[in-house]
Amino acid sequence: MQTSSDHTQSSLDFERIAAAIRFINAHFQEQPDLETIAEQVHMSPFHFQRMFTEWAGISPKKFLQYISLNYAKSLLKEDPAQSLLDVSFATGLSSSSRLHDLFIKIEGMSPAVYKSGGNQLHIEFDFYPTPFGQVIIANTDIGICYMAFEENWEKAMSKLQAYFPHATLVMKKNTVQQSALSVFTSDTVPETPIHLHLKGTAFQLKVWEALLKIPMGTVSTYGKLAQNIDQPKAARAVGTAIGSNPVAFLIPCHRVIQSSGHFGGYMWDPVRKTALIGWEQAQVHQ
């Protein structure tokens, strides 16, 4: 069982990683060495290397390669005929080295529940530590309905209440919530799908389902995602739907970046988005 001191240390470690990533993002073209990066987080190169490798599974130097602008651009290059991303998207394939994204199944809430703000829904929620900071996870009797990175408990609960203003909220841990955490630890495909019970328009649900088809370790763009749902002129609307995603990481909106190769914004902190992309690259290529 993880103690409060464990959570504090985990949060501290991620803050150091985040600070290092902010520095790398600002100076990646200079390809800073280990000593330079470690100095930014006030650690010795030896201890920083060890902590970073424990966190990401690879060295800081390798991680730097994964999150550099040029590498992001290389992920977006398409074969003259058809790209690996296109093939993966069309066949629904994803990396087998971590949780298979297609084992996450979306079920939309009924129009009545959608319009009522969750009236008559019983929602259980609790807080959990992850390698990327604390998350709040909430679920109905059907599946996960909300997951967000948030260190402040009161702010997290306030946002959950605002998202489901008429639901009954109960702070309680359960196996459904804990199954969602397997995306951070599992090396195998789960025997049963992780069910999501989401409140969204038909268009939003379509975009969120499309996000699940972006293979782990790759990225796409807003325009490309619009093409993949047969709405090539709806890139802006796709971006809005991505920004409305209520389930962090399980629906991988962090895998969508700008066509220029820049990672762009992220509602749960752009630095965390960078960390997620780099970490996934590390898991796929380690």
Catalytic annotation present for 145: no
User: What's the per-residue H, E or C state across the chain?
Assistant: CCCHHHHHHHHHHHHHHHHHHHHHHHHHHHCCCHHHHHHHCCCCHHHHHHHHHHHHCCCHHHHHHHHCHHHHHHHHCCCCCCCHHHHHHHHCCCCCCCCCHHHEEEEECCHHHHHHCCCCCEEEEEEEEECCEEEEEEECCCCEEEEEECCCHHHHHHHHHHHCCCCEEEECCCHHHHHHHHHHCCCCCCCCCEEEEECCCHHHHHHHHHHCCCCCCCCEEHHHHHHHCCCCCCHHHHHHHHHCCCECCCCCHHHEECCCCCCCCCCCCHHHHHHHHHHHHHHHHC
Q: Which long-range contacts (CB under 8 A, 24 or more apart) does 200-207 make?
A: 200/108, 200/109, 200/114, 200/241, 200/244, 200/246, 201/114, 202/108, 203/237, 203/241, 204/241, 204/244, 205/106, 205/108, 207/238, 207/241, 207/242
Q: Which of 253, 271, 275, 282 is catalytic?
A: 253
The catalytic residues are 253
